[in-house]
Structure 1
Amino acid sequence: MYNQYQQQQMMQQQQMMQRQQMMQQQRMLQEQQRQQKLLQYFNFVDKDKSGTIEKEELSLALKQGGMVFSYETCGLLIKLFDSEKKNGVNITEFYQLYNFVVNMRNSFLQVDTDKSGTIDANELAVALKYSGYHFPNNVILMLINKFGKNNQIKIDDWISLCSFLQHSRAVFMIYDNDRDGKVSLDFNAFLAISSLLK
């Protein structure tokens, strides 16, 4: 009786492991298919076959994936992911950029509860918290005024805002040597930071 119970347990464990392996293989296959599709988008818009795409080409590539963003937003995205400072992204950077955009779009859609295509200051605060940012109301209002229109943020504005915040965080970390979230700046350092944020 006990051996039969052990055999059933072992068989259940084996079946569970097989299901997990199948699910993992499915996820890997889906990821390969997604990367293949992104490579097709990339190659389609890389007209000069330089191996990099600029903001106009990025806009077209994202449009192929069903996401429409302004050239300005595409420029911010390139600035965020262009590790070689060549005013374009290579295929590896494009994969990272695309994942970032998809994640940020999903967080936007989660908080756009009325499905209006816009989020207000309250929804923006929630979306920023989902993204790891905890700002007081005055900063939320400043961000909505800078990136939105009529106290509303559209998806394009949201991606611009997220790109700005990611880039700002990276620049801030250069000066936050002890990683306490605070920096002391003289005017020269302030100008240096300001120039890096442009």
Structure 2
Amino acid sequence: GGAHYGHQPSAPYGGAPGAYGAQGHGGQYGHGQGVAPGAPYGGYGAQPHGGHYGHHAPAGNFKLSNIPHGVNPEAHQWFQTVDTDRSGFINLKELKQALVNSNWSAFNDETCLMMINMFDKTRSGRIDMFGFSALWDFMQRWRALFQQYDRDRSGCISSMELHQALAQMGYNLSPQFSETLVQRFAVRGVRPGIQLDRFIQVCTQLQTMTQVFRERDTSMTGNVRLSYEDFLSGTVTRLM
């Protein structure tokens, strides 16, 4: 039973903070409250060669001995390629150049910035090797979830597919709500639905807002008395 926003208190996405969260895979770099899964560098291709659901391939070789402890080897290889100015950090421009959807379109700025903010422990607007490794794991889990519901392999999640995904995450929301989200974030000229970048953005922000609501819904009724400014303060704090 319980509130409308998450029928299972321990559900991986609509439920308790921490489940499938960036904290579990990224340590101090994961600022999200139990944010959910995804894919590195576009579509479904976790391998450098990618294919139709691929991503920009990393160049060059790397030595395992040079990988810092706790850093994903694949993430290390990608970091060396994406860090084009060899600064030791990945900024918004560099991350945006690395992330592509299944039709090879670049990830939108809002999603890239959201992820940098999530894994930027210094609040400098960029992420180091460890933050990038945590982001890599975060993206891998998102990719897996996206692939699970993009059953026709169109590279887009339809409103019906989104509704099914949100239901699995523990959200008791109407099909009309999913349709509204898809209409809001669909890209013109692309097949109906939302691509991987917007899927990550929508679900992560939905979880953030749900957590704000949950903290105030102490009786788990699905209803709270909340001022407009209180709501904005809670969501802005978690999204920044």
Is TM > 0.5 for Structure 1 vs Structure 2?
yes
Q: Which residue of 1 aligns with 2:179?
A: 141
Q: Which residue of 1 aligns with 2:160?
A: 122
1:45 and 2:85 equivalent? no
Q: Which residue of 2 aligns with 1:176?
A: 216
Higher helix share: 1
Distance 1:85 1:154, change over 3 A: same
Q: Give the Cα–Cα distance (whole angstroms) in 2 for the partners of residues 169 and 112 of structure 1.
A: 24
Letter in structure 2 aligned against 1:59: K
TM-score, L = length of structure 2: 0.55
CA-to-partner distance for each residue in 1:79-114, whole Å, 9 max, x for gaps? 233344322223222222222222112111111122
Q: Percent identity?
A: 32
Per-residue deviation, 1:38: 0.9
Q: Which residue of 2 aligns with 1:70?
A: 108
Q: Give the Cα–Cα distance (whole angstroms) in 2 for the partners of residues 83 and 172 of structure 1.
A: 25
Letter in structure 2 aligned against 1:80: M
Q: Give the Cα–Cα distance (whole angstroms) in 2 for the partners of residues 43 and 166 of structure 1.
A: 32
Rg comparison, structure with higher value:
1
| Contact 1:176-1:182 at 8 Å conserved across structures | no
Q: Which residue of 2 aligns with 1:189?
A: 230
| Contact 1:119-1:152 at 8 Å conserved across structures | yes
1:110 and 2:148 equivalent? yes
Q: Which residue of 1 aligns with 2:194?
A: 153
Let me know the Cα RMSD of the aligned residues.
Answer: 3.4
CA-to-partner distance for each residue in 1:3-62, whole Å, 9 max, x for gaps? xxxxxxxxxxxxxxxxxxxxxxxxxx9xx9x81221122233334554432221222344
Larger relative CO (CA 8 A, sep 6+): 1 or 2? 2
Distance 1:194 1:163, change over 3 A: closer
Q: Which residue of 1 aligns with 2:30?
A: none
| Contact 1:59-1:68 at 8 Å conserved across structures | yes
- What SS does the corresponding residue of 1:190 show, helix, strand or coil? helix
| Contact 1:42-1:61 at 8 Å conserved across structures | no
Per-residue deviation, 1:177: 7.6
Q: Give the Cα–Cα distance (whole angstroms) in 1 for the partners of residues 73 and 105 of structure 2.
A: 18
Distance 1:92 1:129, change over 3 A: farther
Structure 1 consecutive aligned stretches of length 4 or more whose deviation exceeds 6 Å? none
TM-score, L = length of structure 1: 0.65
The unaligned stretches of length 5 or more in structure 2 are 1-63
The unaligned stretches of length 5 or more in structure 1 are 1-28
Distance 1:91 1:133, change over 3 A: farther
1:60 and 2:100 equivalent? no
Per-residue deviation, 1:123: 0.6
Q: Give the Cα–Cα distance (whole angstroms) in 2 for the partners of residues 57 and 172 of structure 1.
A: 34
